[in-house]
Chain A
Amino acid sequence: MEEFHRSISLPFSFRKLKKEIQQGKYHQTQIRSIIWRICLGCFSQEPNPKEFCDLIHKHRERYSLLKKKYIRTFKVAGNKKKNNNSSYNKKENTTRIKNQNKDYDFSNLILLDVKRTNAGEELFKKNETKKLLFNILFIYQKQHLDLGYKQGMNDLLANIFVVVYNEYITNENNDCYSILMDNNYIEEDCYLIFEHLMEKFRNVFLSVKQDNNKKNKKRNKKKIDKSKEDNQTKTTNFNTEGIIISPPLAIKSQNKAKPKINKKRKIPKIVKYCIKMQNVYLKRFDEELYKNFQLLKLEPQLYCFRWFRLLLSREFSINKILILWDYIFSDPNPIEFVSYFIVSMLILIRDQLFGDSTKVYKKLFSYSYDGKFDDIINITKNIRKPDEKTNKMIMKIKKRKPSPMYKHVIKSNRQPRAVNSRKNQPNPRSRKNLPNNEQIKIINKNQIKRYFLEKQNQKKKNKLLNEKKIILQQILSKVEDQMIPIDFIENPIQNIQEIIFNNLYHSQEIQKKLYRPLGDLKNVLLKQSSTSNLKDINEYNQKFNLNNNNYSSRGDIGSKNNIVDKHKTRDENLSNLKDINVKGIFKNEKTETFIEFSNVLCNKETIPRDNILINNTQIPNIFIKSDNQNKKNPIDDWSIIIYSFTHNAYSNRKRKIHITEDTQFDLFTKTNFKKNYLNNFNNSQSNSFFVSNKHIPCVLNFKYIAENNPILI
C-alpha cells in the first residue's frame, strides 16, 4: 500500500518510474503487477491514479465479454465434435464444422501445454489454475488469429500468473490500490498483462509464414477495398466519368508482382535477433569467444532461441526472472537489453565455453552461473552503455561500404600515420564525441575488469585448467622431442589450432610465462584509455605477479636486460602502441632457447579489432631470426611453437615473413612447410616470401621479433 502511494504519487510520470526500475529500486516490490502494467503500456497515457481504476474496469469488462463469446462457443464446438465421432452424424453447414474443428485442435494443443506448465508446483496442479491459463491462452489465440498459439506462451503466462496471484488481495477498502489488486479479477488482469506482453514481444513469436500472411492479408484487404471502390465507381460514377477504372487496375498488377519477390527464404525475426546477438554484440565485446563459436560451427539460433522466446524464464529461478523482467519491460529497447544480457551471460562463463564441443554445448543448453545474479545485470549495463555510440559509428561505416570492417580499420589508420600527428593523442574521435563521458566509461570498464579478475581466480579451481595443462604439456613435450608426426600438423589443422590456441591462452600459468595478460580485457582497456591509466597498469602487474623480475626470471642476462628496457619504454610512452603491446618469453629449459612473443601474437590473435581501429595499430611484419650463437648443436635446440594465422581478424590477408640468411632450414624438411614454401623461397631468391593464412608455419629455434612497420599487401 505505502509503496504504491509512494511510487504513484503526483507528480507522477512513467518515465521517472522506469528510470527508478532501471536503477534497481523495485527488486523487492509488492506491486509488481501494477509496475508491469505500466511498463508494458496497459495504460496508454499517463493518467491520475484514479483514472487507473476506470481504465482497468474497462479492460475487465472487455475480457468478460470475450470470455462469454469464446469459451461458450468453444464448449459447444467441443460437444459437437464428440457427437460427430459417435456416429450421430447430423451434418450442418460443412464450413462451420471445419471452423469448429480448427478450434478444437488449437484447444487440444493448448490443453497439452497447460497441463505441462510448471507441473511440479502445487499452484499449477490446481484445476482452477489450469482452467485460467487455458481460458486466457484460448481467448488470446482467438483474438489474435494472425499469431495464433505458440509453444512458450504458456511459460510467459505462468510467470505473470504467479505475480498476480501472489500480490492480489481481497477488496475491502474499495480505493484505487485495492481495486487495481482485486483478487476477484485475477484472470482478467492476467489476460491484460499477457496481451500487452505479447504485443511488445510479438516479433519473437512471429514465424516467416505469418509475416508473409500478414502482408498478404493487408494486400488482400487493399485489393478488396479497391475492388469495392471499383464497384462503387462503376455504379455511382459511371454516368459522370468513365476513366476512373484504369488507375486501380494498375495498382492491382503491382500487387501481383510483389509476392514473387517474397518467395525467397526469409529469416524469422527471432533468428535475426539471435544472429545479431552473436555476430554483432558478442563479437564486439568478446571476439575470441565469437571465433570459438564459429570454430565449433555453433549457430546462435540453436541455443539462443529459447532464451529469446521465453525471455530466459527457464534459465533462472522465478525470483530472478521477475527482477530480470522488470529490467526488460522498463527498457526502451527490450530486445537489445535481452541481447546484451545474453552476451554477459556468455562472458561470465566464458572459461567454460572453450575446448571440447560436447562440453560447450552442454553448458550452453543447460546454462548455470554460480555467482550472483546481479553480476549479469551489472555487466549488461556496463557493456551496453559505452558501446552505444561506437555502435552507431560502426553502423555508419557499414552503411557506407559493404566490404569487411578491417579494411576500413587499416585505411582509416593509414592516414594519421602519414601525417604523424595523432601518435601521442589517445583517440581524437572519442574525445570529440564524448568529452564528458570518457571518465565514466573508464569507471565502467574498471568494474568489468574486476569481474574478469574474479573470474580468473575461479579458474584456478577449475578442473578444466588441469586438463588443459596436461594436454599442453603433452604437446610441448612432443614438440621438444621433435616427435610431431607430419600428419599431426598437416591433417587436423583445425584441431591442433584449437588445442594450442585454447591451451596457450587459457591456462593461467602459461599465460604468465608466455603471454602475460595477453588478450585480456585489460589490454583492451589500456589501449582505449591510454595515458590516463598508468596506475592501473601497475596494479595489474602486481596482481598477476607480472612485474619485471618475475617476468624474466628464467631468462639469461642479455635477454632480461632487453626486456626490462622494453618495459621502461613501455611505461614511458603509453600512447605509443609499440610499447604497450604485450610481450612475453617462453623458455625451453632443456635447450635453453627462448621464444619471444611480442605484439605479433597479441595484436592478431586476441585483441578485438575494434580496438585496433581506435588505436592506430597496424599489422606488423613478422620477423623470424635464428638464434644460433649460443647454441652448441643447432638441431638439438629446435624448439617449436605453432600458431595459426587463421584465427585473426586479418585472415584474408597475406602476411610477409622474413627469414634471415643464417636461418637453418633443415627442420622444415620434416614438415610440409618445405614443400609449400621452400621451393618458392629458393626460386624467388629473395629473403622474404608470403605465407597464406591456410598454412601453419612451424617456427623452430627462432625468435619472434615484431616490428611496427605496417604492411599492406
Chain B
Amino acid sequence: MTLESFINEAISPWMLEDGPDKDIVMSSRVRLARNFADKLYPTSGNKEALEEVLQFIKKNYIKEEDTEQDSLTFIPMKQLNMIEKLVLVEKHLISPHLIKHSDYAAVLLSEQEQTSIMVNEEDHLRIQVYYPGLQLKKALEEAYYLDDWLEEEADYAFDETKGYLTSCPTNIGTGMRASIMLHLPALVLTKQINRLIPAINQLGLVVRGIYGEGSEARGNIFQISNQITLGKSEEDIVEDLESIVNQLVEHERMARQYIYEQSEISLEDRVFRSYGTLKNSRIIDSKEAATCISNLRLGIDLGIIENISENILNELMVLTQPGFLQHYANKALRSDERDIRRASIIRERLNLKK
C-alpha cells in the first residue's frame, strides 16, 4: 500500500471538509442511545435476543439495491480481525465496548464515515453523527433524521416521564451525548486550562482527553460533552455546549495572540524544534509524537510554518495510533517496533509536502 492511499484510509472524508472555527474545533459529534421496546438489552447478555436484534437490523434497514439509504454499509464485528477493529476505534467510528462484545455486534457505516450506527453496544442502537468544526446543531438534525428512519420499523423503549429508556441510568432521558473535540495548545501553554476545566465541570459538562473515558489529554486535544441527559431538551443541551465552546475558542485565540506577541521567538523555537523532531527522529513514542504534532499544527495555524496542510493534526493523530501502525505494517507489532514504525511514517508523511 502506498502512503497516500493509506492516509486516505486514516482520514474520514468528512474531516477534509471545511467547518466553522476549524482551526480550533476539530469535530462536533452527536450520539443518541436507543433501544427497542420488546427486546432484552445487550446488557442482559441474552444471546438469542442479541442475535434477533442483529437479524432485525439486517432485514429491515439494509437494502440490496441502490436506494437513498444505501450509503450505509452493514459490517458485523465478527468479520473483522483485531487490527481492523482497532482501526475503527481509532477513527472513533466504533467504541472499545463494541469490540469487547463483538460476537453479536455490528456497525452501519456511511460512505463519508460521517455517520455510524452501532448495533448491540451497551444499547441496541447507538446513532453517531460527526461534523467538521463547530456544527453541533447540524449533527443533531442529521441524527434526528436517522432516529426517525430507524423508528419507522420498530417501537423504541420510551416512557413519557423518563424519556428514552437506556441500559445505563446515566444516559436516560434524551439518550443524547453531544461532544466537541478541541485543540487548545495556547490555553495549555498559558496554564489557563487548569482554571477553565473546573469551571466547565460545574456547568454540568465533562472535559476529557481525546480517546474517551479515562484517557489523558494527549496532544492538547480535549473533548467536552454534556453530563446530564434528563430534564433538559436536546436543543438546550446543544446550545449550552456550543456557547461554552464559543467562549473557549475565543480564549484560545486570545491566548495564541498573546503568546505570539509576547514571546514570538520562543514560540518559533518550540514549533521548529517539534518540526525537527518529527522530521528526524527514528524512534518516537505516541506521547512525544502527540506533543510535537500539536506544536506543529499551532505553528501552521499561526503562519510560522507554511506549505504543510492544516489537516496534519487530524491525519497524524490517527496514523500514529497502534492499530493504524499495525495495519500499515500488515502485522502485529511490539511497542518498541511501533515506536520505530511511528517515526518512519511521520517522516514519510512530512516528505510528501502539501
A binds B: no
